[in-house]
Amino acid sequence: MSSIGDTASTFCATLVDEWIHSGVRHAVVAPGSRSTPLAIALAARSEIRVHLFHDERSASFAALGLGLSTSIPAVLLCTSGTAATHFHGAVVEAHQSNVPMIVCTADRPPELRDVGAPQTIEQTHLFGSAVRWFHDPGVPSMDAASSWRALAARCVSSSTGSRPGPVHINLPFREPLVGVPTDMPDRRQTGVGRVVRPAVVSETDVLPLFEMVNGRRGVIVAGRGASPEVLTLAKKLGWPVFADARSDLRVCDENVVVAFDAVLRSTRFSDSHFPDIVLRVGEPPASKVTAQWIQRSGTVVVQLQNTEMVVDPDHSAALTLVADIASGAASLASLMTVPVEGWLSDWSAAETAAQKAIDSWCDHNWSEPSNARVVTSTIKQGNNLVVSSSMPIRDVEWFGSVTPGVQVFSNRGTNGIDGVISTAIGVALGTGVSTTVLIGDVACVHDSNGLWALMQRDVDLKVVVTNNDGGSIFSFLPQAGVVDNATFELLYGTPHGVAFEHLAYAHGVPFKRATHGASLAEALATPGTMLIEVPFDRSMNVSQHEALNTSIVQAVESATA
């Protein structure tokens, strides 16, 4: 196990190595003690010219001059405390003048903050809105080593992006401050974190992406923001599309894989079908199984997204094209000539087998996955589906049916369960079409205020409440097997005992209780706004999910043997 000093040294050596790879050639250092790990790492590399300035203000303006004259960010480093405050003038000038700069402020570890430790001030967001990006990765830990290169690459890309400017990373170090670097994490052969931002997409702009995907076996992971052009691209590539519930691509098509989470639970199938490359379009799905499969495969990940927001929680994106997704997919498809052969058929067979297994199991077992299956299969084209975070979004993603012509919405920016009913009301008001919201009982209680005056609003809203009297998602987490049952129920199960029939009547909302698939389908077909309670036994939820997944895995393996 690496010591504290060795870990910090390896962390800093990795940052410097990646900065050099990204073209950084100058560092300006104001002397101090706490900045020792990064100062030594900079001085150890001949590719970096280190310029020492005793005064921090002078150092910062020298770094400004380097960025101004070369259009390449210089690394600017100081120790902790007020030293960093003397950088502010140059940082603001870099901000206003669009000059790239990587500002590194060393800091004391968390245990020395707010206790009167010397040379310690609040350095978080020290430069406010004058930086293009701020990040504090915390005290270096080998557990986070896989993210170090991505951190360094993002410093450069954020500093040199569509609007160049300063970035600020605050680096807390524990003593000892001197150590010996160990093996640095590997760099992907394709490079790390390259971002392309064309104003108008052309074939030239997508060439880097084309060169990476052409003739290779890959998978498209399509989330919110995907368009029909993405499916056209998949056909030109000969690739499967993992269609997230929010992708608007959940249609009956040989290239579309809806049950991708369940299919990938077959280790025999998933480990024998690692792709050469993954193209992630839009926002990622909730499926942890998919993320772990991609990470386990070690494959290259490239992205097509329509916002500047960084969507790369696993620090794996080698190339990101920020552009209109429809235009980007269409331009890329226009370059394709022949789809890759012998790759799609197994995925199509696995999807067909999985869907048959889900239908069969749900026909014979009433469960929360069955509930999601009924909701998705009965919703009419042209209508909306709003899905709450926690278990509903997962059950729809894992076990929901195709939803052609249905817009699916979910608050997945922060994955909260707050405001879901009110969000659905807003969706119904904004679109003017019938809307169904699938929501858990805790989320429904959390936003019961959304029911106020609901019957006075010009909406047609079905609120389907999966009621298992508590937070069922926690039963899937390690806490369930660690704490005793009483403690688990108190802290995680959180039974509430709410009578949803009375809640609906209190707001004048028509109410129905559905206890099987037919009664749920009947309630959903009834015109008008309604709250539909679907009760379940929470203690059965994990075992039912496991049984369904086992059934799907067996079907997939039989169909693809």
Q: Classify strands 300-305 and 277-281 as parallel, antiparallel or unpaired.
A: parallel
pLDDT of residue 193: 57
Q: In this predicted model, what pLDDT tens digit does every residue of 82-94 receive, in sequence order?
A: 999 999 999 998 9
Q: In this predicted model, what pLDDT tens digit does every residue of 264-283 receive, in sequence order?
A: 999 999 999 999 999 999 98
Cβ atoms of 31 and 54 within 8 Å: the answer is yes
Would you say the pTM of this structure is higher than 0.85?
no
Q: How far is CA 427 from the centre of its chain?
A: 23
**Which domains does the chain possess?**
4-172 (3.40.50.970), 194-345 (3.40.50.1220), 368-535 (3.40.50.970)
pLDDT of residue 322: 87
Closest CA to 7 of 101, 138, 121: 138
pLDDT of residue 189: 45
Strand order in the sheet with 435-440: 407-409, 384-387, 435-440, 461-467, 530-535, 511-513
Residues contacting 503, CB < 8 A, separation 6+:
445, 448, 451, 531
Q: Name residues of the chain where pLDDT drops below 70.
A: 1-2, 188-199
pLDDT of residue 117: 83
What is the average pLDDT value for the chain, to the nearest integer? 92
Q: In this predicted model, what pLDDT tens digit does every residue of 215-230 receive, in sequence order?
A: 999 999 999 889 999 9
Torsion angles phi and psi, residue 251, rounded to 5: -130, 165
Q: In this predicted model, what pLDDT tens digit does every residue of 114-148 receive, in sequence order?
A: 888 888 899 999 999 999 999 999 999 999 998 99
pLDDT of residue 478: 84
